[in-house]
Chain A
Amino acid sequence: MAEKFTKGMARNIYYGGSFFVLLLLFGLTLDTVRQLPKRDHRENITAAVAHGKALWENNDCIGCHTIMGEGAYYAPELANVFNRRAGGNKKAFKAFLNAWINAQPLDVPKRRKMPQFNLTDKEINDLAEFLIWTSKIDDNNWPPNIQG
């Protein structure tokens, strides 16, 4: 670096630049939080959805699956599983999820294994409600296709 560029100037870029960008981030976050109600349809969060999220967390589902693309990459994406497995039909999806979760672990040698979590019917119902709610968040049309 040229000698004309002094340590003082570098320091000012650091303090000034990062302070400005931090402010920008703060402003953008405020705006995002304000706009989110239009996109996350929070008005549809029922007690069942909330309970479903707690189950999702307490069983560490994200340790294998992704949801909206985030998580582990060992098992399928689940933010759109409602559409993938039941074409958006609530009743069909709940029936599917109940059967699927109760059938775990599948007796297929070498296949990746999902543990048996011993969930009750009510719990599976609430988990389904959570996944259904999640599938309807406006996430800019991700994933690109139904396969997630």
Chain B
Amino acid sequence: MKFNSQLVAKPYFIFALILFAGQIIFGLLMGMQYINGDIGFPYIPFNVARMVHTNLLIVWLLFGFMGASYFLVPEEANTELYSPLLAKITFWVFAAAGVAVIAGYLLVPYAELAKITHNDILPTMGREFLEQPTIGKIGIVIVCLSFVFNIGMTILKGRKTVINMILLTGLVGLAVFFLFSFYNPINLTLDKYFWWFVVHLWVEGVWELILGALLAFVLIKVTGVDREHIEKWLYVIIAMALISGLVGMGHHFFWIGPPNYWLWLGSAFSALEPVPFFMMLLFAFKMVNERRRDHANKIAVTWAKGTAVMAFLGAGVWGFLHTLAPVNYYTHGTQLTAAHGHLAFFGAYAMIVMCVISYAMPIMRGRPQGNCIKAQKVERLGFWLMCIGMIGITLALTAAGAWQVIFQRIPESAKALNYMATQDKLVGFYWARLMFGFMFAVGLISYFVSFFVGKRPAKQWQN
């Protein structure tokens, strides 16, 4: 570790992983509710569990991005963080706000929460992923501003590397596009159109910049490959991400009211969205092959390669599977969407955060050469169980989605099975999904255990 201020990243990573555990617990609960609707009802109805599951995901990823930025940016900029104190305050504000929002979901009925927080003054609640009370959204904006300010000032006074600039662009974009969450017109079509400016332009837009920058940073560190070379790749990857992803947003506009031209524009551009992910895959493996040194933190290298593979599968392949309008006409809003969502979020974003943690955490704990071999073995077990578990979940949901299309969507109205009857036919797939979910949870536990394996080497701690 070059600078002491990088240490502010540590609580961000720890808290991110705690929230991750919460996300998985609620995921398992929903997996059970899909099979037996009585479980947890009426205390935690499905919609509440889902809000908690998805909101925890978003918040822990944001904590992860922030921690990663606080660790990476000073090192890249070759200067101390502008204000470690501000970073610490931001952490506590964000943690308190995050816990308050989740507690609100769990403790009072949602309509009551809307009332208590005066949603009628500026209604923003009750839309998928943007369920946070308006006051909570304002909190997110303040936290993001303080965070981007801190990172921006650090970069301003230090070295402006390509990685830092791209990361900063991604983070500014994240903050800017979130502002669309405050626009909630009465007209549902308009509402949905601009809702995607938050959701799509985050995960299929600016977040890819963050992903690319974080991956490039870790690759430079663990492979020792020439920075120029890595930066060139990074530019091309994020160029393709934005060129395909911005208008690729059109694949969400097929069936919610916007004009017909989105059918072919959305199909054509989003069909290119796998390209940057495929390049990221080539990039990660090529850099590791051309490595100039063997870093002792082997598991961090595994995460870097793993995230490239899983992001390509989840965001690239599973996205392409249903992105063309004629296909999407039948698959829209089925379990196939859920399959894609799971693998893409895990592969691209959950894994890149764990990749950075895997590289940075040992350093912050006084182990610059990574954790001991035994700890890395346990972490590797967690890596594989989580990856295989998630692929299993994805395959089960894909099969469920395909059956939905066959029974419910393709036949004519008179012959098609209704929604609930179709769901009854899918129970086997839901069981498989739940079992793979448990496998994933075991992987997560194994990953957590790896943090406590092996003693802190006293000698390295001096560094």
Cα–Cα distance between A86 and B244 once the two chains are bound (Å):
42
Which residues in B have their C-beta under 8 angstroms from that of A69?
255-256, 332-333
* CB pairs A–B below 8 angstroms (30 shown): A6-B232, A7-B228, A7-B231, A10-B233, A10-B235, A11-B235, A18-B239, A21-B247, A25-B249, A35-B259, A36-B193, A36-B259, A39-B259, A57-B123, A60-B47, A63-B46, A69-B256, A70-B128, A73-B335, A73-B337, A76-B418, A77-B419, A111-B37, A112-B420, A113-B42, A115-B47, A117-B111, A137-B257, A139-B256, A140-B263
Given pairs A73-B334, A139-B257, 9 additional interface contacts (CB within 8 A): A7-B162, A10-B233, A21-B242, A39-B259, A59-B110, A69-B256, A77-B419, A110-B37, A113-B37
What's the least CB distance linking B55 to chain A, in Å?
A: 11
**In the assembled complex, which residues on chain A have CB atoms less than 8 Å from the CB atom of B410?**
144
> How distant is the Cα of A142 from the Cα of B260 in the complex, in angstroms?
12
Residues in chain A near residue B262, CB distance under 8 A = 28, 32
> Contact between B242 and A112 (Cβ–Cβ < 8 Å)?
no
Q: How far is the CB of A57 from chain B (nearest CB, A)?
A: 3
A contact residues around B48 at 8 Å (CB): 60, 63
Residue A120 is within 8 A (CB to CB) of chain B in the complex: no
A53 touches B188 (CB 8 A): yes
Closest to B336 in A: A73
Question: B195-210 interface mask toward A, CB cutoff 8 Å, 1 = contact, 0 = none?
Answer: 0000000000000000
CA distance A117 to B110 in the complex (A): 10
Q: Confirm or deny: B107 has a beta carbon within 8 angstroms of a beta carbon on chain A.
A: no
Of chain B, the residue at the smallest CB distance from A71 is B128
Q: A24-B247, A60-B47, A72-B46 known; A147 and B417 CB under 8 Å?
A: yes
A33 and B253 CA atoms in complex are apart in Å by 12
Does B187 make an interface contact (CB < 8 A)? yes
Question: With an 8 A cutoff between CB atoms, is A88 at the interface?
Answer: no
Asked whether, in the complex, the Cβ of A110 is within 8 Å of the Cβ of B242, the reply is no
Partner of A36, one of B47, B184, B190, B333: B190
Chain A minimum-CB-distance residue to B269: A21
Contacts of B47 in A (CB 8 A): 60-64, 72, 74, 115
The closest CB in chain A to the CB of B189 belongs to: A40
Chain B residues near A77 (CB-CB < 8 A)? 333, 419
Q: How far, in angstroms, from A5 to B422 measured CA to CA in the complex?
A: 53
* B263-A28 in contact (CB<8A): no
A58-B119, A59-B111, A72-B128 as given contacts; A144 in contact with B330, CB under 8 Å? yes
User: How long is the Cα–Cα vector from A112 to B418 in the complex, in angstroms?
Assistant: 15
Complex CA distance for A7 and B434, rounded to whole angstroms:
46
**B305 is an interface residue with CB less than 8 A from chain A:** no
Chain A residues proximal to chain B, CB less than 8 Å: 1, 5-7, 10-11, 13-14, 17-18, 21-22, 24-25, 28-29, 31-33, 35-36, 39-40, 42, 45, 49-50, 53-54, 56-64, 66-77, 105, 109-113, 115-117, 133-134, 137-140, 142-148
- In the complex, B224 has a CB within 8 A of chain A: no
B246–A144 CB distance below 8 A: no
Which of the residues B42, B115, B123, B257 comes within 8 Å of A40, measured between beta carbons? B257
Q: Tell me if B255 and A140 are in contact (CB < 8 A).
A: yes
Complex CA–CA separation, A108 to B253 (angstroms): 37
Q: Tell me if B243 and A70 are in contact (CB < 8 A).
A: no
Select B189's contact among A18, A25, A39, A57, beta carbons within 8 Å: A39
Q: Which residues of chain B are within 8 angstroms of A111 by Cβ–Cβ distance? A: 37
Give A137 to B186 CA distance when docked, in angstroms: 14
Q: Is the CB of B126 within 8 A of A147?
A: no
Q: How far is the CA of A137 from the CA of B254 in the complex (A)?
A: 12
Contact across chains for A32 and B259 when beta carbons are under 8 A apart: yes
Contact of A45 (CB < 8 Å), options: B46, B186, B257, B416: B186
**Would you call B24 an interface residue if the criterion is a C-beta within 8 Å of the partner chain's C-beta atoms?**
no
- Hey, what's the 0/1 contact readout for B90-119 against A, CB within 8 Å counting as 1? 000000000000000000011100110001
A residues less than 8 Å from B188 (CB atoms) = 40, 53, 67-68, 133-134, 137
State whether A144 touches B231 (Cβ < 8 A): no
B207 to chain A, nearest CB (A): 15
Chain B 19-42 per-residue mask, 1 if CB under 8 angstroms from chain A, else 0: 000000000001001101110011
